[in-house]
Amino acid sequence: MRSDKTAITRKFRFHRLGQIATKESFRNASAGILGYKSLHIKMVVKTAALATLLAVTASAWTVPSNLQTFYNNVKNGGCKSYAGGKSNLNDGQGHSGFGFCTDTANVVYLTGKNSLGDMDIDCDGASNCGGLSGDWQAGTSFDDILVSKKYGVKTLDASIHQFSVLGTCNLNLEGLISPLALVAVVCNNQLFYSVWGDTNGCDDNNFTGEASISLAQLCFPNEGLNGNKGHTAHDVLYLAFTGSDAVVGPSNANWKTKSASDFQNSLKTFGDSILTKKFGSTVPPTNPGNPGSGTCEWVGHCAGATCKTNDDCDGDLECKSGVCGGSSGGTTPPPATCSWAGHCAGASCKSHDDCSDDLTCKNGKCAT
């Protein structure tokens, strides 16, 4: 999280590392500085040591089928609506055309032109990635909330807490996403959970695509990622969930842990519940011998969603005590095909083009 020296509000707090052009320019400019070669050798040694130190063993979660379909669609398709109308943000590698897409109910995600995000490295917070980053701040964007809400930590630690960096100097996402909201990250054919924990800022030209070092090393354990080297391929889905119920609270994760793997594992239960509630995913169980049942096609109306009547719940789910729950029994017909999450039966629409597969727009709702 780098910071413009004149910017003190949290929306301007950010960090950007691992940019090839910037690092190469720095090295060229520094070639004649006394002690540079010696310093570089020491950094290489320290980097190797840090890679071993930060190696984590948290489980990688299986990507649910409808989330995988969504990943494939947005990676190869386009976005219809961008946060702030901004679709020309930069990835930090010299590529523009990125933005935070808002065309799907309950989520905001980073996308580019037929591509997703990259993953640069954030070392901000308590540990500074073991001291390897010269572009570092001791705090993260929402430290005031961590303290006031009694999370048990004064700041996030990039080496322990998996967090995603969303928003830029000129694009504040707090009106769309709540601070510390859950962010599902699909990377390297795996699913991990993170929180929205930091923002990018003003001297990096509205760069996008960044995560804490602990999340990056979970995603790509064999790439030797560190404070000066990020993942440059555009194949990472950052899926942030909207609504106050998506905020990872003090009791929803083990914030005080000293282990990156423990923190990831502690996010699993809350992450699965929000993914199912907000996105309609039937999350594969941790134990393959105890498979879940059924699927949910009406995003936002799945098991666990709030309701007033049975009509507010997907399929044969019933509204029980204000929450969509179990079915009334009997055989449930197979759900209609829906390959475009957020545009399934019940989603808002203006025309047939807003609805998935063979669904049509009837009275402002996608229907069969």
pTM, 2 dp: 0.66
pLDDT of residue 153: 96
Segment (H or E) for 366: strand 365-367
pLDDT of residue 281: 67
pLDDT of residue 325: 72
Q: Does residue 113 have a pLDDT over 80?
A: yes
Q: Which residue has the higher pLDDT, 2 or 66?
A: 66
Q: Does residue 360 have a pLDDT over 60?
A: yes
The per-residue pLDDT of the chain, averaged, comes to 76
pLDDT of residue 169: 78
Q: Which amino acid is at 161?
A: H
pLDDT of residue 10: 34
Report the pLDDT averaged over residues 215-235.
93
Q: Does residue 279 have a pLDDT over 70?
A: yes
Residue 363: exposed, middle, or buried by beta-carbon count in 10 A (0-12, 13-18, 19+)? exposed
In angstroms, rounded to a whole number, what is the distance separating the alpha carbons of residues 132 and 135? Answer: 9
Report the pLDDT averaged over residues 121-127.
80
Of residues 154, 208, 145, 156, the one with CA closest to residue 178: 145
**Beta-bridge partner residues of 107:** 241
**Beta-bridge partner residues of 181:** 247
Q: Does residue 25 have a pLDDT over 50?
A: no
**Beta-bridge partner residues of 110:** 100
pLDDT of residue 197: 95
Do 20 and 205 form a contact (C-beta atoms < 8 A)?
no
Q: 11-25, 97-111, 307-321: which range is least confident on average?
A: 11-25
Q: 148-152, 204-208, 267-271: which range is least confident on average?
A: 204-208
Report the pLDDT averaged over residues 76-96.
88
